[in-house]
A = this chain, B = another copy of it.
Amino acid sequence: MAADSSQKWILMTTAQTPTNIAVIKYWGKRDEALILAVNDSISVTLDPQHLCTTTTVAVSPMFQSDRMWLNGKEISLSGGRYQNCLREIRSRASKIEDEKKGIKITKKDWEKLHVHIASYNNFPTAAGLASSAAGFACLVFSLAKLMNVQEDQGKLSAIARQGSGSACRSLYGGFVKWVMGNEENGSDSIAVQLQDEKHWDELVIIIAVVSSRQKETSSTSGMRDSVETSLLLQHRAKEVVPKRIIEMEEAIKNRDFPSFARLTCADSNQFHAVCLDTSPPIFYMSDTSHRIISCVEKWNRSEGTPQVAYTFDAGPNAVLIARDRKVAANLLQRLLYYFPPHSDTDLNSYVIGDKSILGDVGVEEMKDVEALPPPPETKDQIPAQKQRGAVSYFICTRPGKGPVLLSDESQALLNPESGLPK
């Protein structure tokens, strides 16, 4: 029996998808509608335990229209980016038969059936932590499972790309390259996994969420302005990035941290240089971002070889990649020394994610933060001023896995009876 509105069944799928941070940056589209980049990019997928999107998608003959809720609040699906993803997935939907539940959906039925989507980020959406990457990746991944789409992960990444460029890289764990491709229709502009998350598992990532007063330029409009006005962007895309991509793949393959750090820092800085070369200029980094860079640069220099890489996306937050757990503990100690919280802050909300690193630092409560000694590399110089309250909080995490299905129905975000948010 084909699906019709007299039927009461609801078919649901829930998935979890990580966010990612680019170490060779994507900045600039050669096609605005299809979201095709002017250069390849490479990212590290972040552990979904600390930063991820969970999305439940449901289909039912009872649903009157496509609807979506983000973090519990209904949002419009009319935007072109959502429509692109929904259309591309729907057109690839396959038939489903579940005799036990009395569900039968033909390929033709999918054109008429409506979906409900509920999505939730386990981190503050407004913090500028690439929530759209995880979000669109999760939307595409979960819809593809629900609609029994028989495409490989690469094809799905090309669909997620049409929601948000960097979303395509969240379809895989570990180290991921978004190949810009050559085809006009974007079919070869897909993500490929370079190495999985176990390949280089000593790396530890600390994100400093920086307090910001300024309204930021959205990355969509920012990169459009850069493409139109920066005289450095094309040189970066055509001459600089292709060489860096090759070097970065080598560095990742060989777990060569000094090269990885050098390339990551240089590429972050060059991306922000292109933003500054844009008219009007775009400033994503703040004085606090600059201070974090100076702190890392000084320490790396004092150690003779890089211990920590930094990279900044379209906002002031620092993503710091430490070569191993010992370095990460030293890094966190420095960060807490230079950027202590306001006195009324709870340590438990100031360092989140993998809090076990706090133990390595010997910090158990707030008074331990205040008692931290100055880092040795400041000793011969005027001790750097502490910037109390300049950082909102730190997230300790690591490279992580790609999207997964959550089969436990209790984790679904939609009620299995009503198809509405729980």
Contact = CB atoms under 8 A, between A and B. Distances in A.
Given A231-B270, A273-B274, A280-B301, 19 more contacts: A214-B287, A214-B290, A231-B236, A231-B239, A231-B240, A232-B240, A232-B270, A262-B279, A265-B279, A269-B277, A269-B281, A270-B277, A273-B273, A276-B276, A280-B293, A280-B294, A281-B293, A283-B293, A287-B287
Contacts of A283: 290, 293
Count of chain copies: 2
Interface in A247-297: 262, 265-266, 269-270, 272-274, 276-281, 283, 286-287, 290-291, 293-294, 297
Contacts of A266: 229, 277, 279
Contacts of A213: 385
A422 interface: no
Contacts of A273: 232, 273-274, 276-277
Interface of A: 213-214, 229, 231-232, 235-236, 239-240, 262, 265-266, 269-270, 272-274, 276-281, 283, 286-287, 290-291, 293-294, 297, 301, 385
Contacts of A274: 273
22 contacts: A213-B385, A214-B287, A214-B290, A214-B291, A214-B294, A232-B232, A232-B270, A232-B273, A235-B235, A235-B239, A265-B279, A269-B277, A269-B278, A269-B279, A272-B276, A273-B273, A273-B277, A280-B297, A280-B301, A281-B293, A281-B297, A283-B293
Contacts of A235: 232, 235, 239
A273 B236 CA distance: 12
Contacts of A269: 276-279, 281
Contacts of A291: 214
Nearest to A281: B269
Contacts of A385: 213
A281 B214 CA distance: 22
Contacts of A236: 231-232
Nearest to A291: B214
A232 B239 CA distance: 10
A259 to B, nearest CB: 13
A287 B294 CA distance: 16
Contact of A287 (B232, B239, B286): B286
Contacts of A286: 287
Contacts of A262: 279
A331 B110 CA distance: 60
A356 to B, nearest CB: 31
Nearest to A288: B287
A112 B273 CA distance: 51
A383 to B, nearest CB: 13
Nearest to A266: B279
A93 to B, nearest CB: 44
A231 B236 CA distance: 8
A132 B101 CA distance: 83
Contacts of A294: 214, 280
Nearest to A243: B231
Contacts of A287: 214, 286-287
Contacts of A277: 266, 269-270, 273
A290 B286 CA distance: 9
A229 B286 CA distance: 23
Nearest to A244: B231
